[in-house]
Structure 1
Amino acid sequence: MGLGLQGSGMASARYAAQQGALVRVTDMKSPEVLAPSVQALAGLPIEFILGEHRDEDFRWAEIVIRNPGVPWTSPYIRLAQEHGARIEMEIALFFLACPGRIIAVTGTRGKTTTVSLLYDILRASGAHTLIGGNVAGVETLSLLPQITPETLVVLELSSWQLEGLALHKISPQVAVMTNVYPDHLNTYNGMEDYAAAKANIFRHQQAADLAVFNYDNPWTRRFGEESAGRTWFTSLERGGSFARGSEQVDPFIFTETPLAGRHNLENILLATTTARLLGIPDEIIAERVRNFHGVPHRLEEVRELNGIRYINDSASTSPVAGQVALEAFKEPIVLVAGGNTKHLPLEQWPERIVERCRDVVMLAGSGTDELLPAIQQAAEKMQTSNPVRGIYTDYQQALAAAQQLARPGDIYLFSPGFTSFGMFLNEFDRGDRFVAYVRNL
């Protein structure tokens, strides 16, 4: 249920067909949109029901593999359950079949950067290492044939994927939690519910397993006190990492990095501490940190042209992400932001926009409608002018308007702070289009 375009639906369908199951794929998106995914499964005995969900398919199914984006409250899921179906997720099937050692990372922000750096370090050590989970374009189930008991499997896991593990009471042997902030509250019944889904990453660990938590975030600090495995904390505020219950802090020594922003130092500290605990030598860790330039769509420097630095932060889909992006730079900022709301608190984002942005161009959307009055209020409170220069329904026009406002020495920052809207397939498509625009300048 939910073929999608990012890999997990395709992997589930391929895996089920290869195991000899009778497979139907159903997705509300049109055949035209899903054509690349259907093409990737060509030649397999799979039936496609696209552009709709039909009751009969859910009554027919013995197992429904739901895409992470499908909520438990879906009437189709309920219908399948009433007819005796088992509801599974790709990641749970992977955990049940994986012979390797799983190292998983979750959190509201920073998990992709932390996973990518950790994968980079482990691979540089010579260990057979694979990456998967909530990583765009990777079919995690399709990794299984390459995995031996010696393989290290580094996974990024979303709250939805972790729900799939809860049913089986399984957690990875190594769990890393970056932070918990308000997010996906349109899907969960408040912060406790959302945080509880995240906590599945360590809930079912054994005493010999390892868990690493960010001490500087109140949620992850609390979870670190509850975990059953060997537990370590990382803390920028305390300058390093330490075992739970210990007063001895191992200092943070891997500070030579091309990445901008305090939040990235938090990510580096988590990745390097985990690597150290897995026995990777310091010189390998330091070398990889120095040469790690981040991941696409996350404060990604696309180019510098005529003294203007163009930054793609399209993965910024929440106000706290928009706020963190602004805090990463000291130069004058021309900001392109806006999109559709997930009904999350705006936090200090409006104030940071007024403080740090000389000019702001907004893309129209329900989130923008929430943000605009908050920016105006912040400007009045600070007794300064409102930096918003226009609201656009056309993406290219918005980018061109910001281009006209940018001057040498500026940061041109694309950091929407909201989800992608009708004009994009997802935040990656949105970021790819921004990168293409900047490359063509």
Structure 2
Amino acid sequence: MAKSNDASHLSPDRRASKRQKLSINFFTRVRNLITSHVSFTNTVSKHSATDIVDDSIATDDTAAAETMAAAAAAEVSTPSLAPEIWAHVCDFLPYQSLLQTAVVSREMLVDVMPRVTMLHIDKSCQLHAGVTHRYGDVQDICIYSLIEFEDDLESYDCHLDDDTLTRALPFLCNFSSCLERVFLGGRRPSNGQVEGYKTDRFSVEDDMKMNNFIDLFSGAFRAGALPNNVWIAGLSCSKETRMHINTCKVCRNACKSFPLSSVVDFEDIHVIKKRYRFRAKLFDDDIFGLNVCLKRTEIEEIILGRPGGKELLQSKARFMTLLGRGVRHVVITDDDKVLYVVKYDDAVLGQINGFIKHSSMDVTMFPPDEVTEAIRRSFAADERDPLPPREQCYLAESSFNALKELGLPIEETDFLNEDELRYGYKNSYFSCDWRFY
């Protein structure tokens, strides 16, 4: 029997991504990079292993020859990685290990650290600006010290770390040149599970702290202290009930202050709770962006009032982005194969339908190849990551039918794999329950 899980546990690296975990393809990528960039140096011996063996045999000392040949071979095969390869490896190290790596040699400090693109912070004391100037190319920062957990696996006892609340924003403001993504949350010590803020697991006091924390980010964006394209994940408004007239200043300020590119992806926390109620277990690791207590219509109303908001909401690029927002699930088969299934829920389909109704563009005239490729982006763990092999990717039939009914120029055979085809056509006798038929 196949097991179905959310895709986030197989995400690439947990750079501040929407699906937060290390990719199963990471070590393959590193191996390939090392194979293509590694150089072999011999910094000590001036003779080859063969020369040493020949010289030793001339003295009739076979044992010594074998020993010296082995030593020479070890010298010759010592790998020297290029700085960019070391930097790629360092991207996945905990921050403490990264600091230890930096003091290994001057080359690591001067040539490797400036190429590091990801930081993984586990303790609030690591949020120190003293060494941030060494990291000139950081794009993703994951701060796992915001939420502290009890060790008890059955406990829902979580609380916010006051020291991280105080240090995080000033620390992030030191990366104003190229920072793209930030995740703030926690990681359970018992199993390493990554979690963002979820209101029903925290005290009223923590809820107030979270809202104040979001307000600080709104102020930082308005003041220009953070780049205007940074995507913030893991935070959420603490308002559990929605009034008839929403007056939540925290969420409204966020929609007016955060970058438009991230505001357009803000989600209604009440819709999210409904979407994931069937798997709302303690240790799920769904990572969202900033979740607000506003309805989608209220969010878009604020966006329309901002410069460039209307153009963004009605752009072709926005439509293609929506097509890539299908919910990705992972299926692990009985023989341990990893398969990816994408299904579009009502919220995403509603946004796609809303774009079609209110846009002046005729989506039926979009190039079919572009539309198909945009839908396939849902199979990637993150929009910056490559797609998994096609034979691992399946689009739920119900979702294909829903997209087709919206008038999209797509063909089902473009999403079917060999096990679903018969003589080039869909095999009606083939059935997989995990495809969410």
Identify, as 1 or 2, the structure richer in strand.
1
TM over 0.5: no
TM-score interval (norm. to shorter): under 0.3
Higher relative contact order (CA 8 A, sep 6+): 2
Identify, as 1 or 2, the structure richer in helix.
2
TM-score (norm 1): 0.27
Structure with the greater alpha carbon radius of gyration: 2
